[in-house]
Structure 1
Amino acid sequence: MWLCLLTLAMAYNYFAIPLRSTFTIYDLPGSVGRTTWLCLDYLSDVIYVLDIFIKMRVRFVNQGILEKDPKACRKHYIGKADFKLDLAALVPLDLLYFAIGIVPIVRFPRLLKLQAFWELFDMLDKMAKNGHVIRIVRTILYMIFIIHVEACIFYQVSKWEGLGSNTWVYDPESNVTAYVYCFYFATSLATNIGDNPPPTNYIEYLFMTCYWLSGIFVFALLIGQIGEIVQAANANKTNYRSTMDITTWYMRSLNVPEYMLDKVRTWFDYNWEQQKTLGKLQKFALRLCRTCYSGQWGNCACSLIRKSYLSYLKSSDENSLLEGLPRKLKTDLAISVHFTILSKVSLFQDCERALLSDLILKLKPVLYLPGDYICRKGEVGMEMYIIMNGQVEVVGGPNNSIVFQGSVFGEISLMSLSGGNRRTADVRSKGFATLFTLSKADFEEAMQDYPQAYALLKKRAKKTLTKGKATKTEKRIVQTEEVIKEREPTPKLLKTVIQAVSKEKPKSCLSSFMRSKSKRQTDDTDVKPSSSTANQKLSCSPQEVAEKLRASQTSATAKPAESQQKAHQAKNLTGEEKQPLSGSISPEKD
């Protein structure tokens, strides 16, 4: 209540000071009007003084605690800038009346009390059911005050040029009072309505230009406030329609089945009919619709920018969309989008549908720009990735390749296996890519309700990891065999010669010959062996060497013949005569 009274005193000063300073005909000396003005002036001053004492007792919050101590309240108010403005508004320049006479313009410090007007309308805005109406009233008051000041300035300019000196200035002989005519003239200039007299000199041109600019500014604010009121009146219905449109577009971009789209529409319609609100989806609709329909990318020349921007919207607002839906509908919608991809992962094959549903609800979208690294080689893996849109390339690993939409990688890192948590290659986005991630923490939280399935998945992951290591080992062995080729087998004749020579004692001819030859090469003396000694060492003739070769060949072929004969004898226990072996070779025949 006190704030309203203080605002009324402030409004009086804002109206009276410009009026009395220019329209002196309403403040003539000795008239009843002057006495009334002076009484109102000092009444407003008394209200200003009382306001200072009242504000010294206003409580405030100090570090979260409501301060009630009068001394602390007074000290807090004196330390604020409001106290300094309140003191400046009470500067007693009225004492100049005794020197220069009653000149109302010296009371201009009283205009510093504008803070009271703002505080009042801020409070009304918070308390009112429809705050837009309060804002429009405040804007209208701003416009009226500007027109009031312009009317006073117009009358003062008319006095400077001479009242009735031309068709543009105010004519005192007209039937309309001075203030009414000037206020009408200022209003017509501000709104550009009516047939106004043309200016005749530079001062008049400058005056009208300033009027038009101020009028455009004020009326733009007024029209904007009225538009907000109309929009607020239909806000819920507009949000409902916008949310329906953007949700339909979004689900079609995800290739959601038509029956699922119908279920979402049905839920929207029923929720709107019952509650006339969309709850959490209102925020989603306002944010997304402002972005999509404000024309931010409507005129883009590059379709790639538009496509990537839409991909960003889809990845950043899917969680907001799912949060507003019921759990059953949210689960069905998520399953229809991701179930097919997740069920194709080798680690999650043959898992129950409830487990996959819980994992799907844990997926979070992430957008990667061209060239961004999704994971680096050697780092500890904490997520599994599903490619929703775009392409990624694997670099620096055993298999460099490009992975397309619908692929999954990094699932082994969810199992916390020794040796399976490190990334084996760098993976980076080839263009704009939207990936869904499943973190290890979310995976373990979901697996708490499925201990048997968790043990099975861990066993399957170990098997996959072991198989991958064995495959890498085989590849390394194959590469080694290709570099080091297998030696060709020794010819049979040479092998037979080597076997025959190896059975002889060191005194054999061939070994003696080789030893004597090496001894001759290393002998430091110049004495040459006699011919008789050499003939002794080479005592074996070529005929003897041939006989020894035939003997060794005969013994080599006789052994398999004897084994065949023993086997044949064991089978024929009836006492039949032994048949000669066909594979035996007689020395005489050779």
Structure 2
Amino acid sequence: MDVEKHELQQKAEFWISKNGICQDMETSIMKYAKLRLQKGRDVDIEHLLHILPSTLGKSIKEHICFPLLKKVPLFQNMDEGVYRTICEFLKPVIYSEKSYIIREGEPLDMVLFITQGVVWTFGSNTSLTNRLQKGDYYGNELIEWRFNSISYNNFPLSIANVKSQTKVEAFALMEIELKHVLYICWPKFYKYNKTNESISGSMNYFAAASLQRGFRRFIKNKKAQENKGQENKTRENEHSIHVNS
């Protein structure tokens, strides 16, 4: 057990160091990891965010991802509430060395935010060759398309192959999750892009769709409450009949 604890500590300290985790979070991570180990439960450092308590995991994800999100032109100058919402939809992903992540000509259905490792992007045109590493992202075309489109016409295709040179750790924002972000945060995006007719038009669509979804949710909850009330009333009547008989 002592050897296992030592190995765990070394791996955890390396993960904490390479991700620039602050001391308060480091203390909480190590405390939880050791406690989990003492209970005989697995501690997978590579998938640490999956096993940490939700509040701690959320704080760590925000610490790592906020600086990355602020590099995206259409995400800049937003308040922290928007970044927190986006972070809720980001999924941690790991790619082994020399793995194709996206191929040229395939639908570009995610934005990739790189937190560790090196990625090459290249296409049939050698001028497209580029090297991405920690702090970079790929898929801005998807964000621009979604901000300017309310349908799936002209869905963007990747203009390059995206391949890991080393093992890569990243966060992925899928197209469907980006759409959910816009349903939730459209007022903020509208505020900062209202002079852009194309984007403001799309935000009007998301505003209307968001209101419709909210209204349907309200009707559904109202019907559920009415049905519950009717069920309770029926039980009370059956109980009264039973007592009187």
TM-score, scaled relative to structure 2: 0.61
Query: Which residue does the alignment assign to 1:401?
Result: 130
Deviations 1:422-454 (A, max 9, x none): 212222222322222111222223333212234
Deviation of the 1:256 alpha carbon: 0.6
In 2, are the aligned partners of 1:319 and 1:364 still within 8 Å (CA)?
A: no
The Cα of 1:400 is off from its aligned counterpart by 2.1
Q: Give the residue type in structure 2 aligned to 1:388.
A: T
Partners of 2:38 and 2:176 in 1: how far apart? 29
Asked if 1:287 is matched to 2:42, the reply is yes
Determine the C-alpha separation between the residues in 1 that align with 2:40 and 2:95. Answer: 24
Which of 177, 184, 190 is equivalent to 1:442?
A: 177
Counterpart AA for 1:433:
V
What runs of 5+ residues in structure 2 fail to find an aligned partner? Answer: 200-245
Aligned to 2:23: 258
Trace 1:214-293 onto structure 2 (pairs within 5 A).
Answer: 247-264=12-29, 268=32, 281=36, 286-288=41-43
1:318-333 to structure 2, matched below 5 A, reads: 318-321=48-51, 324-327=52-55, 329-333=56-60
Instruction: Give the letter aligned to residue 287 of structure 1.
Output: D
Distance change (3 Å), C-alpha of 1:381 and 1:389: same
Cα deviation, residue 283, structure 1: 10
The residue number in structure 1 matching 2:240 is none
Provide the residue aligned with 2:77 in structure 1: 350
- SS of the equivalent of 1:435 reads strand
Distance verdict in 2 for CA 1:381–1:319, change over 3 Å: same
What's 2:167 paired with?
432
Which whole-Å CA distance do the structure 2 matches of 1:360 and 1:419 have between them? 27
Matched, 1:452 2:221: no
Q: Note closer, same or farther for the CA distance 1:359–1:284 as it changes in structure 2 (3 Å cut).
A: farther
1:326 CA displacement: 4.2
In 2, the alpha carbon distance for the partners of 1:365 and 1:376 equals: 20
Kept in 2, the 8 Å contact 1:373–1:429? The answer is: yes
Do 1:347 and 1:411's aligned partners in 2 also have CA atoms closer than 8 Å?
no
Larger Rg: 1
Please name the residue that 1:361 is paired with. Answer: 88
Q: Secondary structure at the match of 2:81?
A: helix
Task: Tell me whether 1:334 sits opposite 2:61 in the alignment.
Answer: yes
Matches within 5 A, 1:3-152: none
Mapped contact 2:120–2:164 kept (Cα < 8 A) = yes
Structure 2 CA distance for aligned equivalents of residues 356 and 440 of structure 1:
16
Counterparts in 2 of 1:430 and 1:384: CA distance versus 1, 3 Å: same
The 5-angstrom pairing of residues 436-585 of structure 1 reads: 436-455=171-190
CA contact (8 A) 2:49 2:57 kept: no
Q: Report the Cα offset of residue 285 of structure 1.
A: 7.0
Give the partner amino acid of 2:107: V
Cα separation, partners in 2 of 1:245 and 1:367, compared to 1, 3 Å: closer
Kindly indicate whether the alpha-carbon contact (under 8 Å) linking 2:37 and 2:43 is maintained by their aligned counterparts in 1.
Answer: no
User: For 1:229-252, what per-residue CA distance to the aligned partner results, in whole angstroms no more than 9, with x for missing partners?
Assistant: xx9xxxxxx999987776445323
Contact 1:244 1:268 in 2 (8 A): no
| Map of 1:137 onto structure 2 | none
Tell me the distance in 2 between the aligned counterparts of 1:458 and 1:393: 32
Residues of 1 paired with 2:82 and 2:22: CA distance? 22
How big is the shift at 1:388? 1.7
Does 1 or 2 have the higher relative contact order (CA < 8 Å, sep 6+)?
A: 2
Q: Residue type matched to 1:362 in 2?
A: F
Give, in whole Å, the separation in 1 of the partners of 2:92 and 2:17.
17
CA distance in 1, matches of 2:139, 2:191: 18
How far does residue 365 in structure 1 lie from its aligned partner after superposition? 2.6
Q: Secondary structure at the match of 1:370?
A: coil
* C-alpha separation in 1, matches of 2:79 and 2:109: 24
Residue type of the partner of 1:443? L
SS of residue matched to 1:450? helix
CA contact (8 A) 1:385 1:411 kept: no
Q: Distance in 2 between matches of 1:445 and 1:427?
A: 25
Cα distance in 2 between the residues matched to 1:421 and 1:262: 43
**Deviation at residue 358 of structure 1 after TM alignment:** 2.4
Question: Residues 401 and 445 (structure 1 numbering): CA distance in 2 closer, same or farther, change over 3 Å?
Answer: same
Q: Within 2, Cα distance between the matches of 1:381 and 1:456?
A: 27
Say whether residues 1:379 and 2:106 are aligned partners.
yes
Q: C-alpha separation between the residues in 1 aligned to 2:12 and 2:180?
A: 30
What is the rounded CA distance, in whole Å, between the counterparts of 1:330 and 1:412 in structure 2?
29
Secondary structure of 1:428's aligned partner: strand
More strand by share: 2
C-alpha change, 1:393 and 1:284, in structure 2 (3 Å) is: farther
1:282: Cα distance to partner? 5.4
CA contact (8 A) 1:392 1:430 kept: yes
